[in-house]
Chains A and B, each alone.
Chain A
Amino acid sequence: MTAPSFTSALTTRACEISFDNVGKTFPDSRGTRTVLEGVSFTVEPGEIISIIGSSGCGKSTLLRAAAGLSTATAGAVRIDGETVYGLDSRVAVGFQEPRLLPWRTVEKNVALGLPRGINKAEGRATVDSLLNLVGLAAYAHHRPREISGGMAQRASLARALARTPGILLLDEPFGALDALTRIKMQDLLLDVHAQDPTTVLLVTHDVEEALYLSDRVVVLGKPEDDAAATIQRIITVPGHRPRDRSDHQLVELRNELLAELGVEAH
């Protein structure tokens, strides 16, 4: 399935992204509300890191700060050592919803992700090989409403990859998909990563998904109920990809993490 042109069209150089004491404070009816505080960790080039935590603990806030879609109110996000001040051309984002433009074909939607100033032929070749990669070559000329939710999410992933990102930020990208499609998408992501190991930072609320995909898992949480969220701990996931979902160690780790997040596991 690997289109030979894929690696030639896309030469990604994985970047390092580091969070240095990152915090985010929002204005609020009573003044201000600090959502996130003192988050520090570094994602090595080519690494896959998941951020997990209960809802409302600032996972997406952290990712948006990394994407430059919002700015951290404290600390700094650095890519290869340079502080991020806005949208960075080395970063691509995949959202929870596909967010495809309804009036464009799948192909044109993927092309939106291409870096500025890429020449036409090269751009078309990149889009073609990405559509092959995510298995949508036959649907290139369909409109988003003519394809299923899982296919739309694959198109969205292809759009992010079209940017040849040094860092791929994924905000609960498979959260809205049915269980079966989710598993297929996870495997697709691992395939893509194996072919072209870019740095991936993934926000998810699915502990199993985090353990299956990542090298390390960052657990965010609030030390007390109305405190700002911060890193509870960082886990290095044992073993190497591709992992066995029913691996004994992973299952135990999953139960441990779920208990930590306030869910009694069975």
Chain B
Amino acid sequence: MKTSTLDKAPVSRPSPAPETQRQSAPEQKPQSAVLKNTAPSRKPRKSLLESRWSWILGALLPIALLALWQFLSSTGVFSAVQLPAPSKVLAAAADLWTRGDLGLHIAISTQRVVLGFVIGAVLGLVLGALIGLSRWAKTLGGPIIGAFRAVPSLAWVPLLLLWIGIGEDSKVTLVAIGAFFPVYTTVSAALAHVDPKLVEAARSFGVRGISLFRSVQLPAVLPSVVSGLRLALAQAWLFLVAAELLGASMGLGFLLTDSQNNGRTDRLLLAIVLLAILGKITDALVGLFEGWVKKKFPSN
């Protein structure tokens, strides 16, 4: 990737004169000089879209949705059973909180997601790396893993309940299954597509084995690995709700079914809002990590 500014950088064969100039001014940081040069000379006016207040734009629709919700429920378009007002949902939250139930639901769900996500992601990383790096492993193991991936997630539930029981383990296992495949797929595919020219160059300098993996293959695939982790996290929440809907006495998924059975639409809506918030928060955390990795390990 060339820019016109970079082309102006000295490409001449270093003759003694410019060399001494360069050495005489070591404090003059070339990096900032180049970066400054790449900026357009005219200071551009930032639009609202690019400014740091752009999140306000993103908040507009949720606020409008909330207003619409309040309007529809307070004017009686929908009955209180169908659509309780936001204030009622908030009241339900406060009520559950004081009973100590809400904190428990959130904590147990988050714990299941985190545990399952970590287990699934680690397994996905290890198996994905194995399949991506070894042609033997790929030929032997690729088809069977592909077949398991084709099984719809909920199909595992009865079997997991039968084998592991209705406790925590089966739920964490289901979440781990959900988190495993996105990581496995992205890691194995990314490793298979690491630029062979870079690998060959490193090999020609005697870099091989684990050191080759550490210095070339791993940094090359890190950005896609983190994208895979982000997908896996979304899957983890999905599988959590599936697990909790089908057999749980705690957690946000349980709150959903329980509220449905008791006609508590306010709590039902509360559970949905909480899932949205928790999902968004955890996704933002991984997103921060993703941004850092992409900056630190650019792919070009």
- In the assembly, what is the distance between CA of A146 and CA of B7, in Å? 10
A135 touches B23 (CB 8 A): no
Q: With A135-B14, A187-B13 given, is the CB distance from A142 to B202 under 8 Å?
A: no
CB distance from B72 to the nearest CB of A (A): 52
- In the assembly, what is the distance between CA of A116 and CA of B209, in Å? 14
B16 touches A148 (CB 8 A): no
Chain A contacts for B61, CB-based, 8 A: none
B11 touches A181 (CB 8 A): yes
Asked if A175 is an interface residue, CB under 8 A from chain B, the answer is no
A148 touches B219 (CB 8 A): no
- In the assembly, what is the distance between CA of A240 and CA of B30, in Å? 38
Contact mask for chain B residues 11-38; partner A; CB cutoff 8 A; 1 contact, 0 none: 1111110110011000000110010000
Asked if B272 is an interface residue, CB under 8 A from chain A, the answer is no
- In the assembly, what is the distance between CA of A147 and CA of B11, in Å? 10
Asked if A1 is an interface residue, CB under 8 A from chain B, the answer is yes
- In the assembly, what is the distance between CA of A113 and CA of B14, in Å? 22
Contact mask for chain B residues 185-200; partner A; CB cutoff 8 A; 1 contact, 0 none: 0000000000001101
Chain B contacts for A89, CB-based, 8 A: 206
The 8 Å CB contact of A184, one of B7, B12, B31, B220, is B12
CB distance from A90 to the nearest CB of B (A): 11
Contact mask for chain A residues 57-93; partner B; CB cutoff 8 A; 1 contact, 0 none: 0000000000101000000000000000001010011
Stretch of A95-103, A196-204, A220-228, A246-254 at the chain-chain interface: A95-103
Asked if B163 is an interface residue, CB under 8 A from chain A, the answer is no
CB distance from B12 to the nearest CB of A (A): 6
Asked if B6 is an interface residue, CB under 8 A from chain A, the answer is yes
B11 touches A69 (CB 8 A): no
B19 touches A147 (CB 8 A): no
Chain A contacts for B9, CB-based, 8 A: 139, 147-148, 151
The 8 Å CB contact of A135, one of B10, B197, B220, B298, is B10
Q: With A101-B216, A103-B219, A134-B14 given, is the CB distance from A149 to B2 under 8 Å?
A: yes
A132 touches B202 (CB 8 A): no
A159 touches B13 (CB 8 A): no
- In the assembly, what is the distance between CA of A148 and CA of B11, in Å? 8
Chain A contacts for B198, CB-based, 8 A: 99, 101
CB distance from A247 to the nearest CB of B (A): 21
- In the assembly, what is the distance between CA of A146 and CA of B15, in Å? 23
Asked if B160 is an interface residue, CB under 8 A from chain A, the answer is no
Contact mask for chain B residues 126-167; partner A; CB cutoff 8 A; 1 contact, 0 none: 000000000000000000000000000000000000000000
User: Please, which residue of chain B has its CB at the minimum distance from the CB of A109?
Assistant: B201
B11 touches A97 (CB 8 A): no
Chain A contacts for B215, CB-based, 8 A: 101, 112
B14 touches A1 (CB 8 A): yes
- In the assembly, what is the distance between CA of A150 and CA of B31, in Å? 18
Contact mask for chain A residues 134-146; partner B; CB cutoff 8 A; 1 contact, 0 none: 1101110111011
Asked if B1 is an interface residue, CB under 8 A from chain A, the answer is yes
User: Please, which residue of chain A has its CB at the minimum distance from the CB of B15?
Assistant: A1
Q: With A141-B31, A145-B300 given, is the CB distance from A116 to B206 under 8 Å?
A: yes
User: Please, which residue of chain A has its CB at the minimum distance from the CB of B296?
Assistant: A103
Asked if B87 is an interface residue, CB under 8 A from chain A, the answer is no
User: Please, which residue of chain B has its CB at the minimum distance from the CB of A132?
Assistant: B19
The 8 Å CB contact of A146, one of B6, B23, B207, is B6
Asked if B204 is an interface residue, CB under 8 A from chain A, the answer is yes
- In the assembly, what is the distance between CA of A77 and CA of B198, in Å? 25
Chain B contacts for A99, CB-based, 8 A: 197-198, 200-201
The 8 Å CB contact of A67, one of B12, B13, B34, B204, is B204
Chain B contacts for A69, CB-based, 8 A: 200, 203-204
CB distance from B198 to the nearest CB of A (A): 6
The 8 Å CB contact of A148, one of B2, B297, B300, is B2
| Interface pairs A-B: 10 shortest CB-CB | A135-B14, A99-B201, A103-B297, A138-B30, A150-B11, A93-B204, A184-B13, A1-B19, A148-B6, A103-B219
Question: Known pairs A115-B206, A135-B18, A142-B34. 18 more at Cβ < 8 A?
Answer: A1-B16, A1-B19, A69-B203, A92-B205, A93-B204, A95-B197, A99-B200, A101-B198, A132-B19, A135-B10, A135-B19, A143-B298, A145-B300, A146-B34, A150-B11, A163-B205, A185-B13, A187-B13
What are 20 A-B contacts defined by CB distance under 8 Å?
A: A1-B15, A1-B19, A69-B204, A87-B203, A97-B197, A99-B201, A103-B219, A103-B220, A103-B298, A112-B207, A135-B19, A138-B22, A139-B30, A141-B31, A142-B34, A146-B34, A148-B6, A151-B11, A159-B205, A181-B11
> B: which residues have CB within 8 A of A?
1-2, 6-7, 9-16, 18-19, 22-23, 30-31, 34, 197-198, 200-207, 215-216, 219-220, 296-300
> A: which residues have CB within 8 A of B?
1, 67, 69, 87, 89, 92-93, 95, 97, 99, 101-103, 112-113, 115-116, 132-135, 137-139, 141-143, 145-151, 159, 163, 181, 184-185, 187-188, 191
